[in-house]
A and B are shown apart, each in its own frame.
Chain A
Amino acid sequence: MKTETIRVTRRFDASAERVFDAWLDPERAAKFLFAMPGGRIVRAEIDARVGGSYCFVDRRDGDDVEHTGTYLEIDRPRRLVFDFLVPKYSTVATRVTVEIAPLGTGCELTLTHDGVAPDYSIRTEAGWNAMLEGLASEASIVSA
């Protein structure tokens, strides 16, 4: 009834390879991927192979929030697909697809985040942090 997919497109003045690699290098990914204002990444682990998982821990106000998931497709430098879960706030993983196309001397990246609306909810202004515990509870209400 309503779109559940977020799509963001961005051009970079860097090669597709460099942009792609930034997503799978823990040190570089920690600088942008799950870093949020007011927080800092205290742990960044990436097992960059299909079926491998990643884990980023963001510390905010002394509170640790884990972002985790599994790589589903790794096709350097064109396409990266991973699922994504914040166990503290959600029991349902969503899927992120990163597509990179060379463009002039740089590249264009299109990010698609699927399944967002039914799985998350807002509990903070940042919006990111906040997820829905309710799917399991809701299912039990409906079947109760």
Chain B
Amino acid sequence: MRLIAAQSPLDAALVALADPTRRAILRRLTKGEASVTEIAAPFALSLNAVSKHIRLLERAQLVERRRSGREHLLSFNPSPLDDVAGWIEAQRAVWTARLDALDAMLTAENRARARTQTKKGRYR
């Protein structure tokens, strides 16, 4: 299977963040620049496997790479996380809208009930 081409930056960020190894890599990079070898050291994974994780993080622009002599140094770029935070906010807004709708429905039911009871001559 191949990744769909029309992946938005947010898609890439969410995919990247969905994996615990990649989150661990990012946590490491929040402490400062590191080489691929340094990043791979704490993981029981091949260098190749770690490189694939790093490529996904780079595609999501969460990780940037620069060359220093023969070494590739990686650093953390937090800006795509703003999109993720924005998306989570959008989800919150959806639930808030649903609970608004629930409130409106309950209020309408209260009114309908009050009307019915008034018609029947009962007190509330």
Which chain A residues have a beta carbon within 8 Å of chain B's beta carbons? 1-4, 6, 8, 10, 12-14, 18-19, 22, 28, 31-37, 109, 111, 113, 116-123, 126-128, 132-138, 140-142, 144
Cα A104 to Cα B46 with chains together (Å): 59
Contact: B14 with A118, CB < 8 Å? yes
Q: Which of B7, B92, B110 contacts A134 (CB 8 A)?
A: B7
A80 to B: closest C-beta gap in Å? 13
Contact: B1 with A140, CB < 8 Å? yes
A sample of 20 inter-chain contacts (CB < 8 A) reads A2-B84, A6-B88, A6-B95, A13-B110, A22-B105, A32-B105, A109-B99, A113-B95, A117-B14, A121-B11, A121-B14, A121-B87, A127-B91, A127-B93, A132-B11, A133-B4, A134-B4, A135-B15, A138-B3, A142-B19
B28 to A: closest C-beta gap in Å? 11
List 20 additional A-B contacts (Cβ < 8 Å) besides A12-B103, A109-B99, A137-B4. Answer: A2-B17, A8-B95, A10-B99, A10-B102, A31-B101, A32-B99, A116-B91, A120-B14, A120-B91, A121-B14, A122-B10, A126-B94, A127-B87, A127-B90, A127-B91, A127-B93, A133-B4, A137-B2, A138-B3, A138-B15
